[in-house]
Amino acid sequence: MTRLSIRERAIGMLLAGSSQRTVADTLGVTIRTVKNWNKKQKAGEMLNDKPRSGRPSKLSRVPKIIIQKSIGKRWHSTRKLAKYISSKYVAISKDTVHRYLHNSIGAKAYKRPSNPKLTEVQKSKRVKFCLEHKSWTSLDWERVFFSDESPLSFFTLQIHRMIGFGTSVRVISLQSKRSKILQD
């Protein structure tokens, strides 16, 4: 919806008897803005946009669509997009593409992390493991616990904090909130 159509809709709602607060909430603008639009309309002024300072954007509708569709695709850099759009449509720089992605779409730069490849030693160890366990049955594999080396606890362990001096030490269980005295 364009800005002009939003203003026209606001005036229509006001003329239909809606309150300024209702119009503001419905259209997502402030009450002050609705009051200003109503004041302009009553004074007979046009609701069109006034001329704005600054150079208009070089990106037209088609290059914007091309940039939007390139998000998330591999090998689409701002440089390559700028080169493609410059050859087909209008001359733009990589910074124009970056600015559009960042400001209009909210996209951020992302570099895919490189995963380390397996070494020959790791590959041979994996083959050796497979050959050693090739004859295992499903019952044998049920006794195996596979892990990605992340911490895992089978039982809830109580965390203790030792407090005290001398021969008697007081251990406070942080989980159960009970305490007991241990003698040396």
Mean pLDDT over 46-50 rounds to: 80
Tens of pLDDT, residues 134-162: 999 988 888 887 766 666 555 555 554 54
Identify the pLDDT of residue 32: 94
Cβ(69)–Cβ(107) below 8 Å: no
Q: How far is CA 155 from CA 144, 152, 158, in A?
A: 18, 9, 9
Q: 3-class SS at 168?
A: strand
168-173: strand order across its sheet: 160-163, 168-173, 179-183
Give tens-digit pLDDT for 2-29.
778 888 889 899 989 989 999 999 989 9
| Side-chain-side CA neighbours of residue 10 (13 Å) | 29
180 backbone dihedrals φ, ψ, rounded to 5°: -145, 155
Residue ranges per domain, the chain? 3-43, 61-105
Q: Does the reported pTM lie above 0.95?
A: no
Label residue 106 left, alpha or beta by phi (over 0 means left) and psi (-120 to 50 means alpha): left
